Structures are given as structure tokens and as C-alpha cells.
Amino acid sequence: MPDQHEPRVHGHCDARFAAVRTAFEENFRERGELGAAVTVTLDGRTVADLWGGWADPARTRPWERDTLVNVWSTTKGPVALCAHILADRGLLDLDAPVAAYWPEFAAAGKERVLVRHLLSHRAGLAGLRERHTPAEFYDWELTTRRLAATEPWWEPGTRSGYHALTYGHLVGEVVRRVSGLLPGAFLEREVTGPLGVDFTVGLPEKEAGRAAELVPPPAAPSSERAAVFSQLAPAAVAALTNPAMGAAEANSPEWRAAEIPAANGHGTARAVAALYGILAGRGTFDGRRVLSAEAAEQVREGQGSCRDLVIGSGFAHDTEAGLGLWLSGPNGSYGPNPRALGHDGFGGSCGLADPEAGLSLGYVMNRMGSRIADDPRKMALVDAAYSAL
């Protein structure tokens, strides 16, 4: 039997990108990795595709080439892509009021909230005001009905406040109103199906055997958690705790069966690199055009730098959202190009696109870290990829 404590890394890596393999192996030896995968593409060609470790905390299932895992908010990039595809076809105006497509949304002073405000976390709807349980959150109609009826926490359009869970229902309902399809089905029809990308919103029951089990981050002492939450604005508390979701929920059949476009995308690192690679390729991937070059560029149209109302304390600098993803900016979250863009997922996963470098990266894992973003494992891989350029 192999030594269960030794990292088992498989796959290929071009010699030029050997630093990525080194960083990936160090993640197991030095940064507590359990099971993970990373894929890097350059000008649409895969230059690193590595996986290793274990798909379960008992270390009974090796992480395989096709192991799937919940990537939390890394899902937001593909969901934003759905909206941009509709805009690119002239079916959705990002500068139109949301209520033009979703009339009920105009309630409680939201008649002037624009579609771009949803995409850039500026709609003021980071969380619901009334208590919303996990079971209620799995109900699409109930959740979108409550979002349409609720009052914003701040004046929409004035600043960002990370819409951790509500983002997918807000953008997704607009996608549904315009296309007739929930975002998961739209993404499959328009992108993942034609491109053969192994990524779904939710997880079909027949694929459950391929899914890795998420392991929660170490719990902070209750006194420490209470002190942190006492300093948060009400909008941040609502965004992060209404409902509170973690590894236990994400491992459940109910979570996997639901449509949660902000947080329950399941895929491989290869799939994440492909989806973000569409933006790195200025609208194309694997020789196929998904977005016009102009539409792909619009995704990273900055909406104003500020200290985010929900996640601002997790960064040394102000952050800036584009229209669906975050810009690398002074934090260097997605490498040294400040106009590179990407999205982190709760616990550590990441998708990255750098059109200037022609670079995309997908990183997925099952042992969740405790940082809001820029997990050390992710940053080691990002730094390694850029060192090869």
C-alpha cells in the first residue's frame, strides 16, 4: 500500500512551468493540502494539468483526473459569463434597470437598480433582511421572490458589498427571465456542452461518485468569532450568515440538487481553467468563439475601487469588481497585471484570466482554508505560473 501521508501528484507539466509542479507539491508538504488539482493554460494550450492527494478526509479515495469538487464562489465567473453572452447577443442591456426584465424587482425602492449593479456586487442586496434557512435557500422561487421584495442595505450603485450567496439568484433570475433557462441549464447549452467542459451548477446524482468531500476550515474560538461579527455591518452579517453555509451543507444531497449559481458549481481544475480561459482568450477558447472580443473586455470594466462592505477587512487595499469578476488590482490577487481578473471560492479555489498574458488558471481543492480570499496555496500557484512567463 502507498504511504497515505505522501503526496501523490499525477498529470503533466511543461518544463517551462516546472515551478507550478513544485508549488503544487509544496502545498501538500507545507500548506496542509488534502486533495487538489491545478490546470494552467497559455494561449489556449494546456501547459500544466496536475492532481493529487485524497478525495476524502479518511484518505480512502485518491483524487483522480476526473474528480469533481464544489468550488463555491469560483462559480460566479461562469454565471457572469451567461449574462455577458446574452448582452453580447443584444438580448440583455447591462445599463437597463433590472425591473425591465424582472418587474417584481422594482419593489422597496429598487426601480433604479441596474443589471450592472447585480454583476458588480453594488445592488445593496448582499443578504436578505428576514431570516432565510438553508432549506428555504434551496427553493429558487422563494429566494428570488424574497430578493425582489426586500429593501437594499445601502444606496445601490454607490459601493460594493460582496453578494456572497445572493449574487447567483440575482444574476441568475435575470438570465432566466431573458433566456427561459436557469443559469445552470443555460451554461450547459451555450458553453460547457459545446466545449465539452466538465462543470455543472449543482451536481447530477449520477456524478456523486466522482465528487470529493469538502473538509471545513479549523473553527475559530467562539469568543473570537463573536468579536469579529460584532464589528461587521448588518449587511455583512446578513451576507455571511443568512443562511450560514459550510462544508456540511455543501456535502449534502440537498445542496448538490439545488440551483445555487453563486456557490455550488462542481468541476475539475481543467474545467475552471477552460471557463476562465474564455476571458483570457478574449472571448475564445479551444478555437471556438463564445463572446465577442468587445464583450469579453467589458467583463473587466472596473466599477469603482472601494473598501467592500462585506469583505473589505480581509484585504490590505481597496478592491474593485468588474462586471462579474474581481480585478487583480494592487492586491495582486490574480497576479502582477492589475487588470487580470478572476474569482476565489470559499476555502481556497480560484479561477484566473489574464488576457494580456494569454494565461488562465484553475485551482480546486477539498480541504478548506480560513481566509476570505488569496489562500496561500492559491497564491503559491499563481506566483509560480507567472514566474514562468
- Catalytic residue IDs: 73
CA atoms of 256 and 297, how far apart (whole Å):
32
CA atoms of 224 and 207, how far apart (whole Å):
38
Q: 3-15 as b/e, with b when 16 or more CB fall inside 10 Å?
A: eeeebebebebbe
CA atoms of 326 and 92, how far apart (whole Å):
21
Q: Which helix (H) or strand (E) holds 23?
A: helix 18-30
CA atoms of 109 and 127, how far apart (whole Å):
16
CA atoms of 153 and 376, how far apart (whole Å):
32
DSSP, collapsed to helix, strand or coil, labels residue 194 as helix
DSSP, collapsed to helix, strand or coil, labels residue 46 as strand
